[in-house]
Amino acid sequence: MPNEVLIQQIESLRDRYARQQKNAAGLQTAFKSVIDGHNRAQKALTEYGDQNSGADVSDAQMIFANARLKETIVDPLTPALRREIKALTVLNHALKEAAGALRVEPIDVVRLDKAISALQTGTQSDIMALLPELNSELEVGQRALGDEFGAKLRDALAEQGIPIGGRAPKFQIGRFELDANFAKRFISLRYGLDLVIPRAPITVDAAIKAYQSAAKTVTERSQDGKVWMNQLYEAYLIVQRKRSADTARANLVDCYLELVLLRQGRAFIAEPSKRTFTDYSRAQFIHDFYEFTSRQRLAGTGGYVKAHVATKSQVESPTKSMWIVEGDTPFDGRYIADIEFVRD
């Protein structure tokens, strides 16, 4: 049932900030009225003085001119006043949306997420104090949707004989992780830690299609292991030469980049462009690396690959290491930083 206590707190804040917004708007209107009245009075004095020679209004004209209400009062205050009114408008709308999202069952997580995002831009202490509970309600709402979505997804995948693990918002389908964002209404899919499908609709059918597409792109490709091993060794040698290395090791990410170039066809060599480029994603490389160097343990021209686990600083940078999936789930693996070719 709706959290009536929280809704009442929101409505109380809405009343307070609505009054503040009304007062600020009233002051803005008053400023405009003062300036308009001031200008009309000056004009009227001038016209009166011109047409009534018997009356001396010069002192009054001087007082009005020296008042400089616009320059000394209105202009300095107006920019801050406009910013305050704009911020209060956003704040009051967000509070209204938050209360509306909490009143329906189940909670409207999309509406509530947008409201929280708007409220987080403010600095008011009473709003900041309310955010933890609003985020908690959002989490509860997403969990409820996640349980429902997860049950339907499990049933649909079970019909195809595909096991699924985890729970909302993150599910594991084999070596892939499916992340469901119910507030933003989309899913993403990763192979290990590397993004494969950045965005798809948050429906069961779309999730299954995304998984099937990712599997086809990453794990179900046809690849000649011997050819791949020789390409990796060539890339390894290029990295060694470019780095003038005094060690047998070469950075795995550098080897991947060189391997991408080695896989390009003649069209790209003749005319490098997006149109002629043959894609080879990190996820594809990570899959092939484990498949040929570890699971099949193939030897190329340079021998076998010896992998070196990344240090803490290397783990923190995707340009220095890669998460190599080595098991049946996305999280069963190691960060690898360097490789070298060895002979048994």
Encode burial over 238-250: b for 16+ CB neighbours within 10 A, e otherwise: bbbeeeeeeeebb
In a domain, 131, yes or no: no
258, 332: one domain: yes
What was the pLDDT predicted at 32?
86
Q: Torsion-angle region of residue 277: left (phi > 0), alpha (psi -120 to 50) or beta?
A: beta
In a domain, 275, yes or no: yes
Report H helices in 277-338.
282-290, 312-315
In a domain, 312, yes or no: yes
For residue 292, give the DSSP letter: I
229, 337: one domain: yes
64, 45: one domain: yes
Parallel/antiparallel/unpaired status of strands 333-342 and 304-309? antiparallel
9, 61: one domain: yes
207, 235: one domain: no
What was the pLDDT predicted at 199?
95
In a domain, 123, yes or no: no
In a domain, 128, yes or no: no
In a domain, 281, yes or no: yes
pTM of the model: 0.74
**Residue 32's beta-bridge partner residues?**
none
Going from the C-alpha of 105 to that of each of 11, 101, 108, the distances in angstroms are 19, 9, 7
In a domain, 136, yes or no: no
229, 338: one domain: yes
Of 146, 137, 139, 147, nearest to 101 by C-alpha is 137
In the chain, the number of structural domains is 3
253, 212: one domain: no
206, 296: one domain: no
Counting as low any pLDDT under 50, the low residues of the chain are none
In a domain, 47, yes or no: yes
**Residue 165's beta-bridge partner residues?**
172
Parallel/antiparallel/unpaired status of strands 170-173 and 176-181? antiparallel
337, 230: one domain: yes
What was the pLDDT predicted at 54?
67
157, 209: one domain: yes
Domain that includes residue 199, residue range: 143-217
28, 93: one domain: yes
Q: Among residues 105, 127, 160, which one ends one of the domains?
A: 105
Cα-based angle 258, 262, 264 (whole degrees, multiple of 5): 120
Q: Among residues 167, 195, 217, which one ends one of the domains?
A: 217
Q: Among residues 105, 133, 160, which one ends one of the domains?
A: 105
What was the pLDDT predicted at 140?
87
